Amino acid sequence: MDFEQVTARFRDGLGRVSGRFGGGGVALFVVGILVLAIIVWLGTGVYTIGPGENAALRLFGAVGGSPVTQEGLHWWWPTPIGKKDVLRVTETRRMELGFRGNETGAANPFPTEALMISGDLNIVDVQMVVQYNIKSLNAFLFRVADPGEDSRPMTQGRPDGRTLKDAAEAALRLVVGQRSIDDVLVRNREEVEEQTKIRLQEILDSYSTGINIETVQLQDVKAPEEVRDAFDDVLRARQERDTRINQARAFEADIIPRAEGDAERITEGAEAFRQARIARAAGEAAQFTSILAEYQNSREVTRQRLYLEAMEEVLPGVSKIIVSPEAETVLILGQGEGGLTPVPIGPQP
């Protein structure tokens, strides 16, 4: 209902009352005071919606439709007829589980919330922070009657008190109870956070709390104080094991390419040697074939030639004289450019 329409109705009512009292001064004064009080009362119904805020409206205790989201000035019936609740819904709120931060920045542990059993039956101390905002103001204010907690006095009657805490604890215990302590301590913390966020949102949506979970962050995750030294020793041993494994993998990544390169080089050398031997054998075979062909054409000449070449090879650098009874000259091996130098053996003129 528009504020101007309300004031117009009251002015009309004022005119009718003045007519009944005959326009008397006292009556007009009383009516004027009454009208002024009503105007002031109606003026208290004016409220402002700022950036990121929503207003939940109630009329005679009943929720009046969807929350008001438009920024600026608005009017709603004031108390006791109506009531409005204006909250910042885009604000990121924070809930601590397993500890409570104080003004000095130190964390006061809450073991009853933090201690839980992992999937491999180890006890682990988990501290977690939940960041959330409001996605449905009417559901946030009116769907869940939360008793709140003494350690969180500002959340009395709202689902971000006991309901959010119990749901977060239940989701975290469910996820941790399905994993080994190594996953929670070191290996898969991000996956534990993501699974806890999904489980927590499912629980809150089933209760119609109107809460939207933004992030779930594991803070200090450790073994209980009584066995912490033993867990630290195990953790150091595992870290050393991982370091050795990484070193071995680095050595493997270095030595295998070298070995493969050496094997490739040896293979290429063997292939080159094979090709050279094949080519050499083919050449020798071709040479033998050609000599055989010449030998078959002229056996004596070829035999003599091969004999002479063999003697030249066996006795290099030595002059060798070959005398033939029918020849008029002597062949001298080892002289001249051709290796054979004819020398006359008869009387010289």
Domain boundaries, the chain: 3-88, 93-222, 298-344
SS3 84: strand
pLDDT-derived band at 11, boundaries 50, 70, 90: low
Both tokens of 268, joined, read 């290429």
Instruction: Provide the β-strand partners of residue 83.
Output: 58
Going by the DSSP 8-state scheme, the letter that residue 183 receives in this structure is I
pLDDT digits (tens, 9 = 90+) for 130-150: 999 999 999 999 988 888 887
SS3 74: strand
If 0-12 CB within 10 Å is exposed, 13-18 middle and 19+ buried, where does residue 212 land? middle
How far, CA to CA in Å, does 9 sit from each of 23, 29, 191, 244, 309?
A: 19, 19, 63, 86, 142
pLDDT-derived band at 35, boundaries 50, 70, 90: confident
CB 167 within 8 A of CB 95: no
Q: To which H or E segment does residue 121 belong?
A: none
State which of 37-46, 58-67, 268-277 shows the largest mean pLDDT: 268-277
Whole-number pLDDT of residue 334: 52
Does residue 204 have a pLDDT over 70?
Answer: yes
20-24, 296-300, 306-310: which has the minimum mean pLDDT? Answer: 20-24
Instruction: Provide the β-strand partners of residue 253.
Output: none
> Which has the higher per-residue pLDDT, 8 or 182?
182
Of the candidate CATH numbers 1.10.1040.10, 3.40.50.720, 3.30.479.30, 3.40.50.1000, the domain formed by 93-222 belongs to 3.30.479.30
CB 172 within 8 A of CB 221: no
pLDDT digits (tens, 9 = 90+) for 52-101: 899 999 988 888 788 888 888 988 888 888 898 898 999 999 999 989 88
Mean pLDDT, the chain, whole residue set: 82
pLDDT digits (tens, 9 = 90+) for 311-332: 777 777 666 666 665 655 555 5
pLDDT-derived band at 349, boundaries 50, 70, 90: very low
Does residue 198 have a pLDDT over 90?
Answer: yes
Range 49-55 contact pairs with CB under 8 angstroms and sequence separation of 24 or more: 49/74, 49/86, 50/88, 52/88, 52/89, 52/90, 52/91, 53/86, 53/87, 53/88, 53/89, 54/86, 54/87, 54/89, 54/134, 54/137, 55/84, 55/85, 55/86, 55/137
Concatenated DSSP letters for 244-272? Answer: HHHHHHHHHHHHHHHHHHHHHHHHHHHHH
Residue type, 242: D
Whole-number pLDDT of residue 232: 75
Whole-number pLDDT of residue 158: 84
Average pLDDT over residues 236-256: 89
**CA 154/CA 159 separation, integer angstroms:** 11
> Which has the higher per-residue pLDDT, 86 or 185?
86
CB 57 within 8 A of CB 64: yes
> Which has the higher per-residue pLDDT, 206 or 344?
206
Whole-number pLDDT of residue 244: 92
